[in-house]
Amino acid sequence: MPSPVTIAELVERNKAYATKHVPLPYFSEFGNLEQHPPAVVVVTCADPRCIPETFLDLKSPETVVLRTAGGRVKPIFNDLLYLDGLLPLTSIMVIHHTDCGKSFMTDGEARSALKTRLPDVKEIDSMEFGAFKDSTLEQSVKDDILFLREAPLLRRELGEASVGFTYDVKTGGLTPVQVSNKK
């Protein structure tokens, strides 16, 4: 088994990359170029097998990609609000993937594991992690889309333009998740 990558190795890789890097536009330059600023935000998992730049064949700077454990939207909601003030966003694409680590524990199990290490920290008792062991992958996507559609701080038209998918890490394919506006 190969050794895990080190930060020093990543820095060396960057040095090689930088010699071939094509400069990207500053935000202030979008109006002067034939490129449009990103209008779609992709929210997906931090899992290293879930790389939307690859499975969506993204070209920079077509989209904004936000990654969080499980691809859950609540932990990055403030980021979405900020980006909506900065960019002309038109839609949010939520993608959860098969074999996700969030499907292996419940929030209660995650709290218990933390309590084992940090027994005196009371804040752990109220922490939510967005785990979905007791649910399904599709339901986790539906819950996130409904959260966006019902969020009072998010522009209504952006929330309504939120769509969800599952990504299969074995096949590489996306499957749309149909979401009605009722829980």
Q: Is the pLDDT of residue 122 over 90?
A: yes
59 pLDDT band, cuts 50/70/90, is confident
- Separation between Cα atoms, residue 130 and residue 88, nearest integer Å: 28
Domain at 48, CATH number:
3.40.1050.10
Contact 162, 149 (CB under 8 A): yes
Annotated ligand binding at 50? The verdict is no
Annotated ligand binding at 100? The verdict is yes
Instruction: State which residues form the domain around 157.
Output: 38-177
Tokens 């499957």 appear where?
A: 175
Residue 157 lies in a domain: yes
Annotated ligand binding at 47? The verdict is yes
Q: What is the pLDDT of residues 67-92, one digit of tens each?
A: 999 999 999 999 999 999 999 899 99
Angle, alpha carbons 96-102-103 (nearest 5°): 90
- Separation between Cα atoms, residue 100 and residue 96, nearest integer Å: 8
Annotated ligand binding at 45? The verdict is yes
Task: Give the global pTM.
Answer: 0.87
How many CB atoms neighbour CB 31 within 10 A? 10
